[in-house]
Chains A and B, each alone.
Chain A
Amino acid sequence: EPEVTQTPSHQVTQMGQEVILRCVPISNHLYFYWYRQILGQKVEFLVSFYNNEISEKSEIFDDQFSVERPDGSNFTLKIRSTKLEDSAMYFCASRPRLVTDTQYFGPGTRLTVL
């Protein structure tokens, strides 16, 4: 069964450094998402991406964040200058086409900012 994959599974970085989190959505899906989950808290929507552009973003997704689909398979989240409070689990998700389609999640990348 196709699945969303994410790399790395765990990323440790120093405050102020740039990080890129990578995702490979399911191949025939058209909508892509990033979410984060701070330890012990709920999952928060960051951004949705469709047709090579951001379709919606939350107030969390400020200028420090960017997303890109550099080729036909990868979907990346970049944090330009990490802060301690960026430490969280980051989930990528994709869905096929319709708003009534299921959204499938990747296993997540745990980001630790020191």
Chain B
Amino acid sequence: SQQGEEDPQALSIQEGENATMNCSYKTSINNLQWYRQNSGRGLVHLILIRSNEREKHSGRLRVTLDTSKKSSSLLITASRAADTASYFCATAVSGTYKYIFGTGTRLKVLA
């Protein structure tokens, strides 16, 4: 598997439901960031979690990080139609200046 694989690849839920996306990576990291991308648009930063943190919240977003399993999850609670987008994780690889993006999860929230 590649650094930064996400699952599921696509997720379709009803408005009001929670959406959970997972990201796995292979190397040591300094931090992990989640981004949202609307179709054909730029990347909007959502949340950053440092390698020594286990959980972080921001509004309706909850991110967890398990460095022993090299995985992270993004939970969006009480989803809205406006949350429809692709979500990517990006890892800041330790000892480098490089960020590696995951393959992304396409979320569709049905009104």
Contact = CB atoms under 8 A, between A and B. Distances in A.
Does B associate with A?
yes
A45 B45 CA distance: 16
B64 interface: no
Interface of B: 4, 30-31, 33, 35, 40-45, 48, 50, 88, 90, 92, 96-104
Contacts of B90: 43, 103
Contacts of B102: 42
Interface string A14-34: 000000000000000001010
B41 A100 contact: no
Nearest to A39: B40
Given A42-B101, A42-B103, A99-B30, A104 B96 contact: no
B50 A100 contact: yes
A106 B45 CA distance: 11
B97 A91 contact: no
A30 to B, nearest CB: 11
The prevalent SS among residues of A at the interface is strand
Interface stretch (A50-58, A68-76, A77-85): A50-58
Interface residues of A, number: 25
B51 to A, nearest CB: 9
A25 B90 CA distance: 19
Nearest to B41: A107
A42 B43 contact: no
Contact of A103 (B42, B99, B100): B99
B92 A99 contact: yes
A103 B98 contact: no
Contacts of A58: 98
Contact of B30 (A100, A108, A110): A100
Contacts of A50: 97
Contacts of A103: 33, 45, 90, 99
